[in-house]
Structure 1
Amino acid sequence: MNGEATLRDGTPVAADRTYKTCTVQDLLSLEGNTTVITGGGRGIGLALAFAVAQAGSNVAVIDALLEPHEDFAELKNFGIKAKYYK
């Protein structure tokens, strides 16, 4: 690294002036990542799962509940992989 600011693909920001057209969604995208959420079977944890799924992240939820809340199945509507672990 030479200390230059770069985009996720390694393109120097100043070189192509992408910063002028970059959106908040581009900057905060989680696409291609997997987020692990403990206690995500319901409540605040499940709300967080929906937020990161909307940002493009796959979701792995770990919880003590035997089954997650019924809304957990809707995470896949974001086009991501969602898996529940007890």
Structure 2
Amino acid sequence: MPRGARGGHSTSTGRTIADVLLADGADVNHQLVKSGWCWWYVPKDTVLERLEGEAREAKLELWTDASPVPPWKFRKSRRGRRAGMC
């Protein structure tokens, strides 16, 4: 169960960036990046950068793909397309 969030701020696109903490103090962001489920996003966060590097090296989850597409590139490629249209 989540305990809370810290350090939240909004990006220029309105997305909220924050550290999500569980009741036991575990950082959800760190766990997701370490497990290979997401990209490291926050500039200058050396912990997340290191965890992503380790996940990439171990070829965990999304890093099993030889050329995974980051979400920001995927969204950019989809701009201007109508829903349901390829």
Q: Give TM-score, length-normalised by structure 1.
A: 0.27
Q: Give TM-score, length-normalised by structure 2.
A: 0.27
Q: Specify the structure having the higher radius of gyration (Cα).
A: 1
